[in-house]
Amino acid sequence: MNGPHDLGGQMGLGPVAPEKDEPVFHADWEKRALGLTLCAGAMGAWNIDESRHARENRHPVDYLSSTYYELWIKGLERLLRRHGFVSERDLAAGRALDGAPEPKRVLKAAEVPAVLSRGGPSDRPVGTPARFKAGDRIVTRNFSPAGHTRLPRYARGRHGVVEAVREGFVFPDTNAHGKGENPQWVYTVVFDGREIWGDDADPTLSVSIDAWESYLEPA
Amino acid sequence: MSHDHDHDHHDHHHDNELDPMAARVRALETILTEKGLIDPAAIDVIVDTYETKVGPRNGAKVVARAWSDPGFAGWLKQDATAAIASLGFTGRQGEHMQAVFNSDDTHNLVVCTLCSCYPWSVLGLPPVWYKAPPYRSRAVIDPRGVLAEFGVTLPTTKKIRVWDSTAELRYLVVPERPAGTEGWSEEKLAALVTRDSMIGTGLALEPEAA
């Protein structure tokens, strides 16, 4: 979607304002928000792509005025409601009133170290050979899907060069919507800064994205 | 995205009231716990992991090893996931690692314009600025302006390569080794490797700063 999360190249958002000696968390609720998000994800009812889409699919005013952990909680509530684990009544009351489906798993404290150090790899075998190789000239597709995609607007319809063939990875554009993992080859594709931003761009700049094969056409 | 650091100051006047997000998160945790969907003790372990165990000192050890051992540096370039795993750093948001090396002619900068993708296994949780709109919007179009806000000025001839983490690859920048550190131990070298130098918004510290 052409959503508020797709921020590359937008202007007027102010200085970066790095914080000296920044703490890992700025409030206790942020700790719980992180843990809740990971524990709820471990139930196995949704995947990381659906989770990302639940965070990004918001009104721009809401998205841009929320801190990142606020976006996580808003996204998490949406996922929990969508999958029937939490009802509006539960949320309004602040306690469990309605039932919930049986989750695939409940992450126990003792399992956490092993689960975190294992992670959740998203590489998958792809049944077809890679269409592109390093050095190939490509042009990215120009599209505006209503759903989730990982091709940023600034990198659509741009000419670039394949720098590396990576691996097969789960395709977020379908996986976010329950339409399957449909793994594709992923490539690191590099663009000259001027191809993206125009003649006034910093001449020393190049920008790369990691692009699924169906985002690319030969140029 | 600013955070209101005055919360603690205000809250002690009326201890029974929580700010809206604290109340919202507490309610959600209560509901999920009552339904048996989560183990609250698991949250404690997750928080402890990222507060005390997994953080940028992991990445600094990787960089110091790469500076000290050309064989390791080559492995890191070819197969960062395996090379980093050999030092014991694996897992969530580090499943598919790439290391990118700064050099005389190129400076690397990592961003996630679409969300907050970040190599947790070597750097821990991302700082607020990394996840916030100013950095995400500007890193790809005005990296020199962004670097200036971190106090970094690069030669005008130096090439800048920005890596937008749009897929599941996670990037670790290997900064240039500072001059005057010949013969240093890996432990001493690691102290020069800041978190920001591994994102590309900083450089490794000079020896006199260590």
Mean pLDDT (10-residue bins), chain B, 210 residues: 42 61 97 98 98 97 98 98 97 95 98 98 98 98 98 97 98 98 97 98 89
CATH number of the structural domain spanning residue B84: 3.90.330.10
The catalytic site residues of B sit at 112, 115-117
| Residue B176: both structure tokens together | 């240039």
Number of separate domains in chain B: 2
Taking the CA of residue A141 and the nearest CA in chain B, the distance in Å comes to 15
Q: What residues 43-102 of chain B have any CB closer than 8 A to a CB of chain A?
A: 43-47, 49-51, 54-55, 90-96
Q: Report whether pLDDT(A67) > 60.
A: yes
Residues of chain A within CATH 1.10.472.20 domain(s) are 28-118
Is the domain of B169 the same as that of B83? yes
The answer to whether residue B130 sits within a structural domain is yes
Put simply, the answer to whether B31 touches A55 (Cβ < 8 Å) is no
Is the domain of B137 the same as that of B172? yes
Biggest distance spanned by C-alpha atoms of chain B: 60
For A28-118, CATH number out of 1.10.1060.10, 3.10.110.10, 1.10.472.20, 3.40.440.10 equals: 1.10.472.20
> What value does the mean pLDDT take over residues A6-23?
96
Residues of chain A within CATH 2.30.30.50 domain(s) are 137-218
CB B143 within 8 A of CB B109: yes
pLDDT of residue B9: 43
The answer to whether residue B1 sits within a structural domain is no
Interface predicted TM-score (ipTM) = 0.98
pLDDT of residue A133: 98
Strands of the sheet with A184-192, listed across from one edge: A216-218, A137-140, A159-169, A184-192, A205-212, B159-164, B106-111
pLDDT of residue B17: 67
The answer to whether residue B136 sits within a structural domain is yes
| Chain position carrying tokens 């064989």 | B71
Is the domain of B141 the same as that of B172? yes
pLDDT of residue B208: 84
pTM above 0.90, yes or no: yes
Put simply, the answer to whether B164 touches A40 (Cβ < 8 Å) is no
* Mean pLDDT for chain A overall: 97
Is the domain of B21 the same as that of B92? no
CB contacts of A112 in chain B (<8 Å) are: 42, 45-46, 49
Strand partners, A210: A188
Inter-CA distances, A62 with A36, A65, B31, Å: 21, 5, 24
* A74-83 per-position pLDDT tens digit: 999 999 999 9
Biggest distance spanned by C-alpha atoms of chain A: 60
Is the domain of B17 the same as that of B104? no
The answer to whether residue B49 sits within a structural domain is no
- Indicate the SS3 state at residue A169: strand
* A166-181 per-position pLDDT tens digit: 999 999 999 999 999 9
Contacts 24+ apart (CB under 8 A), A12-17: A13/A64, A13/B133, A13/B134, A13/B137, A13/B138, A14/B133, A14/B134, A15/B134, A15/B149, A16/B129, A16/B132, A16/B134, A16/B135, A16/B138, A16/B146, A16/B149, A16/B150, A17/B129, A17/B134, A17/B149
The whole domain housing B24 covers 7-38
* A86-135 per-position pLDDT tens digit: 999 999 999 999 999 999 999 999 999 999 999 999 999 999 999 999 99
Is the domain of B22 the same as that of B61? no
Beta-carbon neighbour count of residue B78 at 10 Å?
Answer: 10
For A137-218, CATH number out of 3.40.50.720, 2.30.30.50, 2.60.120.10, 3.40.1390.10 equals: 2.30.30.50
